[in-house]
Amino acid sequence: MLNMPIVGMFRILVFSFALCLLACSSQTETASDRAPQIVIDQFGYLPELEKRAVIRSPETGYDAGESFTPSSRYAVINTATDEAVFEGAPDIWNEGRVHEQSGDKIWWFDFSAVSEEGTYLIRDMERRVDSHPFDIALDVYTPVLKAAFKTLYYQRAGFEKRAPYALPGYADGASHLGSGQDPQARLFSAKEDASTERDLRGGWYDAGDYNKYTSWTANYIRTLLHSYIENPSVWTDDFGIPESGNGVPDILDEVKWGLDWLERMQNEDGSTLSVMSLSEASPPSAADGPSYYGPANTSASYSSAGAFAMAADVYAKTPTYREDAMRYKSRAARAWNWAEANPNVVFKNNDAEYGSEGLAAGQQEVEGERLQKKILISAIYMFKITGERKYARQVEAIYKQINPITPWAGDGFEGDIAPTLLYFSRMRGVPSAFKTRIRRDYQNALTGENGVLISVKEKSHAYAAPMGGYYWGSNAAAARRGSVFTQAAQAQMRGASEAEFKNAGLGYLNYLHGVNPQGLVYLSNMERYGAESSVSEFYHNWFVNGSADYDSTKTSTYGPAPGFLVGGPNPGYERAECCKTTCGGYGAKMCKRPVLSPPTGQPPMKSYAEFNDGWPINSWSVTENSNSYQTAYIRLLSKYAR
CATH number at residue 63: 2.60.40.10
Residues 318 and 179 in one domain: yes
Residues 70 and 190 in one domain: no
Is position 593 within any domain? no
Residues 308 and 184 in one domain: yes
Is position 111 within any domain? yes
Extract long-range pairs of 243-248: CB within 8 Å, 24+ residues apart. Answer: 246/320, 247/320, 248/318, 248/320, 248/321
Residues 190 and 327 in one domain: yes
Closest alpha carbon to 278 in 327, 189, 208, 193: 208
**What's the CA gap between 224 and 35, in Å, rounded?**
33
Sign of CA pseudo-dihedral 208, 213, 219, 220: positive
Domain with 349 in it: 158-209+265-402
Closest alpha carbon to 177 in 157, 192, 205: 157
Among 136, 170, 194, the domain-final residue is 136
Is position 623 within any domain? no
Residues 45 and 127 in one domain: yes
Residues 131 and 270 in one domain: no
Is position 483 within any domain? no
**What's the CA gap between 123 and 467, in Å, rounded?**
29
Residues 83 and 180 in one domain: no
Strands 104-110 and 52-58 turn out to be antiparallel
Q: How many CA atoms lie within 13 A of 186 on its CB side?
A: 13
**What's the CA gap between 623 and 81, in Å, rounded?**
39
Sequential DSSP letters for 62-120:
TTTT------S-EEEEETTTTEEEEEE-PEEGGGG--BTTTTEEEEEEE-TT--S-EEE
Is position 327 within any domain? yes
Among 343, 368, 402, the domain-final residue is 402
Chain-centroid distance of CA 123 in Å reads 33
User: What pLDDT does residue 133 have?
Assistant: 98
**What's the CA gap between 34 and 32, in Å, rounded?**
6
User: What pLDDT does residue 603 have?
Assistant: 98
CATH number at residue 200: 1.50.10.10
Is position 383 within any domain? yes
Q: Which helix (H) or strand (E) holds 58?
A: strand 52-58
Residues 52 and 190 in one domain: no
Is position 61 within any domain? yes
Residues 269 and 375 in one domain: yes
Low-confidence ranges of the chain (pLDDT < 50): 1-32
Among 346, 378, 402, the domain-final residue is 402
Residues 61 and 205 in one domain: no
Q: Give the helix, strand, coil percentages of the chain, each rounded to 5.
A: 40, 10, 50
User: What pLDDT does residue 65 have?
Assistant: 86
Is position 256 within any domain? no
Residues 120 and 167 in one domain: no
Residues 123 and 176 in one domain: no
Please, which residues have CB within 8 angstroms of residue 99's CB and are 6 or more apart in sequence? Answer: 93, 105, 106, 461, 462, 463
Number of domains in the chain: 2
